[in-house]
Amino acid sequence: MDPTPAEPPPGCLVLLLRLSAGMTADVVTGRGETVAVAAVRHLADELLDGLVNTLAAGYAIGAVDVAVLGYRTGPDGAPQVLSLLPDGDPKPRLVPLTHVVGMPAAPRDAEGQPKKWTVPPACGGDPCPTAALAAAYQMVSVWLTGRFAARPPVVIHCTDTAGLDAAYFRVARSLALLATGHGPVRLLHYVFEAGAEPVPLGTWAAAPEGEPWAELFRTSGDLAENPDAGKPRRRAIAVNDWDIGDPWDALFAYEWRGDTVAWTGSGGFGSSRALWVEKMGNTPEQWEDAYAVDAPGGAAAIADGASSGIYCSIWAQQLSQRFLADRPDAREPIALNKWVNGLRAEWRAAINYNNLNWSKQAKVDQVGAAATLLTLEIGPEADGERPWRAAAVGDASLFWVRGGRLLGTFPVAAADQFGSAPLLVRSNPGFRTLAVAAAGTCRPGDRFVLATDAVAARLLKSSAGPGPEWDRFETMTADDWRAELDTLRRSKDMVNDDCTLVVLCVAGAETSGGREPPEAIGEDNELEDETPLANEHASPEATGAESELEEPLASDEPPADEDASPVLLQAPAEGEAREEADVLPSAEELVEQPEPHVEPPPADAPPAARDGFPESTDPRV
């Protein structure tokens, strides 16, 4: 990838403005006394006016997409997120800055004032900052898909402190995990609080005392030094004050970050455990998820075959296993598509295409297989920390856990963001594969939980309350896990789908030292709960439950046999939930034996006579 393109890389700006009733409070800002919502609107109008004027003057600022979103709860108590741009369309969306230029902005109130580019409704309702930031997360993650070379997206949240709870900060940390080649997403907090003194951005060099101020500081992004303006590197949080030069730096100060990490052979995982079970009503042979773990190599992958395709389980297995063997840079579109294209011919060979009957060949040609894919790689340990990177096509999800506390998720931030049509990696040619990337720095003893969509949605739903007991997944029996899933499915509290969950423990000496990088938690600020999980390698006798954990690696160095096969999955006996085992059935073993060639039925034959095509989605019909 060329780190110095001829044109500036594309950019993305999301302005998130609180419109709840509390924003009618009077505040004393660095520019005088006003109402909070008026200050918020002035900030947004001033920034948009500067961008529009800069573009109109012919400066090469590159393609920039803009969203201005207002949020509050409606009369029914449900969160409302709506566009405030002056074109009259309330649908939340990103709009090219070139289109914003032509929108009907209201004239200036006075000389030196910006045009009114935002049209907010009257304030009312309650705050819903978590839902609003999750909506911004979804918008940004979709925009970043296939755009690893973009400049870091910028999210500016204008708010007061009401409702900024643990769930909000979990979404804020998740937002900062979304990555580009120029660095992570930049979240700027502008807090307008009644009774607070103005605090210009960059004033706080360390987290202030008290919540939510300390956590606001930790989850705000870092802005680079601007020598021309006399501004040092600074944390992007301000109170009752704003300087448009700061979001300007967030949008236009960036540089390419070379990746020098040795991602292979890091010995990144000390232990792993997996559980999987088929959709209720199906047989174990119809399970279409797949996963693979290479503990010495520090890599893992999970895939979810699409039920509407054919031979999707084989495709999902191929994607997860071959990722560990080939280790493509899934963040980079050219490398990812070259790798996927090479797998397509292998898949056709694996399904024995030439010996399939005519209807199955037709479905292979017209539909093919498809699967979501999530990959995770852990780098070598240095100073008690390890870098990690992940890439996702679709909605298989990663949960990053420390000491029983959920730090962040990827690539989905809320349970209501799972849909019926995620992006997929397809076996047929002619489809482009696009991924979104994440990155961070973890510590020994951290857990990464990888889950396919049905399990991930349930985990996110429960995280809105007390949250799941994450360490249970490492000790609970397969039968107990199946029983819990079946209970949730029968009560319609969980989608009836194939379910797969993989727990990975980061290898290395258990320590409570080290710091999260600025893009993950906040430089020089520790998380409150740093206690490692108790008895995480306890024996079955000590825990009272059957343990399925592998023994932790004796050291951080990979074993001498670097060509050893990754830890894979084996189908169990019918009726049992599947757990991690030594080998995975080969693709050929899951394909039926070739059938004698038969002539197709007449074209006017009823669908039921056409061997299950196209109505049936079961490739074994």
Specify the pTM. 0.82
Residue 207 confidence (pLDDT) above 60? yes
- CATH code assigned at 97: 3.40.50
Task: Looking at the structure, tell me whether residues 284 and 242 fall in a common domain.
Answer: no
Band (455; pLDDT cuts 50, 70, 90): very high
- CATH code assigned at 432: 3.60.40.10
Tell me, yes or no, whether 586 lies in a domain: yes
Joined tokens for residue 328: 């493509």
- Tokens 């039921």 locate to 608
User: What Å distances lie between residue 266 and 117, 192, 219, 381, 552, CA to CA?
Assistant: 51, 46, 29, 8, 14
Tell me, yes or no, whether 610 lies in a domain: no
Residue 340 confidence (pLDDT) above 60? yes
Taking phi first (over 0 means left), then psi (-120 to 50 degrees means alpha), and beta for anything else, what does residue 41 get? Answer: alpha
Task: Looking at the structure, tell me whether residues 294 and 245 fall in a common domain.
Answer: no
Task: Looking at the structure, tell me whether residues 81 and 146 fall in a common domain.
Answer: yes
Least confident of 1-5, 344-348, 484-488, 614-618: 614-618
Least confident of 127-131, 180-184, 344-348, 473-477: 473-477
Task: Looking at the structure, tell me whether residues 246 and 295 fall in a common domain.
Answer: no
Average of per-residue pLDDT values in the chain:
83
What's the pLDDT score for residue 53?
94
Which of these three, 226, 252, 278, is where a domain ends? Answer: 252
Tell me, yes or no, whether 505 lies in a domain: yes
Task: Looking at the structure, tell me whether residues 230 and 358 fall in a common domain.
Answer: no
Task: Looking at the structure, tell me whether residues 283 and 242 fall in a common domain.
Answer: no
301-319 pLDDT tens trace: 999 999 889 999 999 999 9
Residue 519 confidence (pLDDT) above 60? no
Task: Looking at the structure, tell me whether residues 521 and 372 fall in a common domain.
Answer: yes
Q: In angstroms, rounded to a whole number, what is the distance separating the alpha carbons of residues 597 and 297?
A: 45
Q: Give me the number of domains the chain comprises.
A: 2
Residue 542 confidence (pLDDT) above 50? no
What's the pLDDT score for residue 265?
83
Taking a C-beta distance cutoff of 8 angstroms, is the pair 347, 314 a contact? yes
User: What Å distances lie between residue 506 and 249, 392, 445, 527, 535, CA to CA?
Assistant: 36, 20, 5, 18, 15
Per the structure, the complete domain to which residue 228 belongs is given by 11-252
Which pairing describes strands 425-426 and 436-442: parallel, antiparallel, or unpaired?
unpaired
What's the pLDDT score for residue 545?
30
Which of these three, 219, 252, 285, is where a domain ends? Answer: 252
Q: In angstroms, rounded to a whole number, what is the distance separating the alpha carbons of residues 507 and 516?
A: 17
End-to-end Cα separation, the chain, in angstroms: 44
Tell me, yes or no, whether 607 lies in a domain: no
What's the pLDDT score for residue 442?
96
Residue 533 confidence (pLDDT) above 90? no
Task: Looking at the structure, tell me whether residues 199 and 169 fall in a common domain.
Answer: yes
Band (4; pLDDT cuts 50, 70, 90): low
Residue 588 confidence (pLDDT) above 60? no
Residue 463 confidence (pLDDT) above 50? yes
134-165 pLDDT tens trace: 999 999 999 999 999 999 999 999 999 999 99
Task: Looking at the structure, tell me whether residues 363 and 323 fall in a common domain.
Answer: yes
Residues 38-66 as b/e (b if ≥16 CB within 10 A, e otherwise) read bbbbbbbbbbbbebbebbeeeeeebebbb
Tell me, yes or no, whether 205 lies in a domain: yes
Joined tokens for residue 102: 């032509």
Mean pLDDT of 596-619: 30
Task: Looking at the structure, tell me whether residues 244 and 326 fall in a common domain.
Answer: no
- Tokens 């020994």 locate to 444
- Give the helix ranges, DSSP H, for 298-405: 312-326, 333-350, 358-366
Tell me, yes or no, whether 4 lies in a domain: no
Band (374; pLDDT cuts 50, 70, 90): very high
Give residues with Cβ within 8 angstroms of 544, minimum separation 6: none
Percent of the chain at pLDDT > 70 equals 81
Which pairing describes strands 299-305 and 405-410: parallel, antiparallel, or unpaired?
unpaired
Task: Looking at the structure, tell me whether residues 543 and 467 fall in a common domain.
Answer: yes
Percent helix, strand, coil in the chain, to 5, is: 25, 25, 50
Q: In angstroms, rounded to a whole number, what is the distance separating the alpha carbons of residues 593 and 587?
A: 12
Better-predicted residue by pLDDT, 387 or 556: 387
Mean pLDDT of 201-208: 93
Tell me, yes or no, whether 50 lies in a domain: yes
What's the pLDDT score for residue 266?
80
58-99 pLDDT tens trace: 999 999 999 999 999 999 999 999 999 999 999 999 999 999
Tell me, yes or no, whether 136 lies in a domain: yes
Amino acid making up residue 325: A
What's the pLDDT score for residue 61?
92
Which of these three, 192, 221, 252, is where a domain ends? Answer: 252
What's the pLDDT score for residue 112?
81
Which pairing describes strands 64-73 and 11-18: parallel, antiparallel, or unpaired?
parallel
Task: Looking at the structure, tell me whether residues 201 and 308 fall in a common domain.
Answer: no
Give, in degrees to the nearest 5, the angle at Cα 267 between 500 and 379: 90
